[in-house]
Structure 1
């Protein structure tokens, strides 16, 4: 849609502020506080049933801690209460349409054909109580590489988990997607955090440390890079995108001082 809107607006010399989604990732370093990481990951990946532009969709974990983190994440996914969002107990509601559920099912079929392994979730829920609604379990998928389906944004609660050995490798995996909205790293190593926030690190418009990809952007400049469209909403400079600037010079005298002292009289 952005590729349709952008040229049409540009053709009349208008301006557009496009926020076109994201395929957001979190890096979990060996020094990470895993208790903190688990909370941030589950909230960002399963919150709003994965239907948020800043939803966590890719998890890049250091190989040394991968088994421990995955085991804890799998247990957390099995405990997620799913149900009517108007009730107090559920944390995960339905997908917005059955079409969204079909897209989720299609992505899972593809990733499994490319070697991915479902670790938790994926079962349809509340089919009798709410047959016309698209209730489903958030899904945790282990992948060995970042295949084409992983590089796409599926607007559903699917979290792809992959491993890395060096920070450079993790950042390369992180940036190797068309989208560039939100990102985060969990680490207690200040140097790693600074690298991630630098020009050599995340190529997203939002980069967080020790918090997930969603939930911290309120009040900050919101927007992304690459296929996310560019431009910023919110934040101290966002108003400029909605305004036209004008330069005004007002002469209150009865004389006109010309540049370089030029005189035409």
Structure 2
């Protein structure tokens, strides 16, 4: 009997939705349909592909309210913040649609007498996208919209917790006129998903998730004997450095938002902050006051600013990091009792700020993915750089200062995919989104993001 996928809401522990997992045969048939559909889709003029993707986007935008409510039930995000995901989806989709003509244009290597030469960007074929639960729409659009714009067909597997989100994307694309088989959202368990990766027609796997998940993706492809490419956005432990010249009011607000928005459940959430010792005490006092103003509660309540984390296990993991840090000498500055909704053995978890921390503690080295941040004083830019780089991850880093030249100079020394100044936890679709070290490989967004979704094909024509 086929296993059933059950989505348990963190709001109240109820079953939000149930779906049947696809079988190996059904998944293989879906890849075959995608392969067949891609032959015609790649010949569809780019302008028509852009029109369909824009139409689907507009339909998606018209469902903003239902999307916000859906996200509250699925992963606990406060309903008043759900519209932000729709806005982020729109910004990324529009940019990638508009960037397609430039990204897909022929490359001219220059004149050579007697020859006509150019490099064409051709679609790779069938793309398998695996999207996470924490930003189910904004992460999915990073690969789906440009992959389709480039002439690929796409199969999407969403994380179990947000599996129904793929159904919405499939519906709006179908309503916009996307041909059958060009985009398919499937409910797959891990074993069947591995089989999809190993199908000869799948030429690219775009995965956002854990380090262990990224390793499993690469292992499955290798064991299948194929050579599908991979784009992997994996874990993070993103740092911030607050220099002595930072504007404290705006910096505290930005750091608090970067650490606690979406209950800290973002790949690029701030999880560790290094503050120049001359302003350390004032920064910590202000940050603690800022976080104390958060309202933990039912995400369907408009007054809630901090919802539950995705499940009880995630909450207990964060509590464990705090307990271990305090046992090792750290100090927790917030009393969970000040957040009445905080309850053990539930996903409702109070935010926490830790001081007197160091890099021997899990809270400063291990990805938290929850409403917790550690703060350390530093004596200099050089010490801050050393500590920011002391991590197996490298997604983003932020520098809070009035000196743009100093931020640029510090950024040159950081092992990270993105360097921010006076902001954090944001993806500019015009810039490449990438990571280093255990954060993964590959790139999404920007014109550069089209490169792994296409392959170069050279034309070398001898003419009279």
**TM-score under structure 1 length normalisation:** 0.87
| Local SS of the residue matching 1:64 | coil
Distance 2:452 2:336 in 1: 41
Paired residues in the alignment total 248
Q: Note if contact 2:356-2:376 (Cα within 8 Å) is conserved in structure 1.
A: yes
Distance 2:359 2:386 in 1: 11
Are positions 1:74 and 2:309 aligned together? no
Query: Residue 5 of structure 1 corresponds to which residue in structure 2?
Result: 217
| Local SS of the residue matching 1:86 | coil
Q: Note if contact 1:78-1:121 (Cα within 8 Å) is conserved in structure 2.
A: no
* Cα gap change, 1:218 to 1:21, in 2 (>3 Å): farther
Are positions 1:230 and 2:444 aligned together? no
Please give the per-residue CA displacement for 1:139-172, whole angstroms capped at 9, x wherever unaligned. 1000342224011101111101011001000010
Query: Residue 260 of structure 1 corresponds to which residue in structure 2?
Result: none
Q: Note if contact 2:404-2:421 (Cα within 8 Å) is conserved in structure 1.
A: no
**Unpaired stretches in structure 2, ≥5 consecutive residues:** 1-212
Query: Residue 258 of structure 1 corresponds to which residue in structure 2?
Result: none
Query: Residue 59 of structure 2 corresponds to which residue in structure 1?
Result: none
Query: Residue 454 of structure 2 corresponds to which residue in structure 1?
Result: 243
Query: Residue 180 of structure 1 corresponds to which residue in structure 2?
Result: 394
Give me the CA root mean square deviation.
Answer: 2.0
From 275, 279, 286, give the equivalent of 1:65: 279
Distance 2:245 2:345 in 1: 45
Distance 2:342 2:395 in 1: 34
Structure 1 residue 210: Cα displacement: 1.0
From 330, 341, 344, give the equivalent of 1:126: 341
Q: How does 1:184-199 map to 2 (within 5 A)?
A: 184-198=398-412
**Unpaired stretches in structure 1, ≥5 consecutive residues:** 254-265
Are positions 1:137 and 2:347 aligned together? no
| Local SS of the residue matching 2:251 | helix
Q: Note if contact 1:121-1:138 (Cα within 8 Å) is conserved in structure 2.
A: no
Distance 2:299 2:420 in 1: 28
| Local SS of the residue matching 2:387 | helix
Are positions 1:152 and 2:366 aligned together? yes
Hey, which of these two has a bigger chunk of helix by percent? 2
Structure 1 residue 218: Cα displacement: 4.0
Are positions 1:162 and 2:376 aligned together? yes
**TM-score under structure 2 length normalisation:** 0.51
Q: Note if contact 1:46-1:138 (Cα within 8 Å) is conserved in structure 2.
A: yes
Query: Residue 249 of structure 2 corresponds to which residue in structure 1?
Result: 35
Structure 1 residue 132: Cα displacement: 8.1
Structure 1 residue 137: Cα displacement: 1.4
From 207, 212, 215, give the equivalent of 2:426: 215
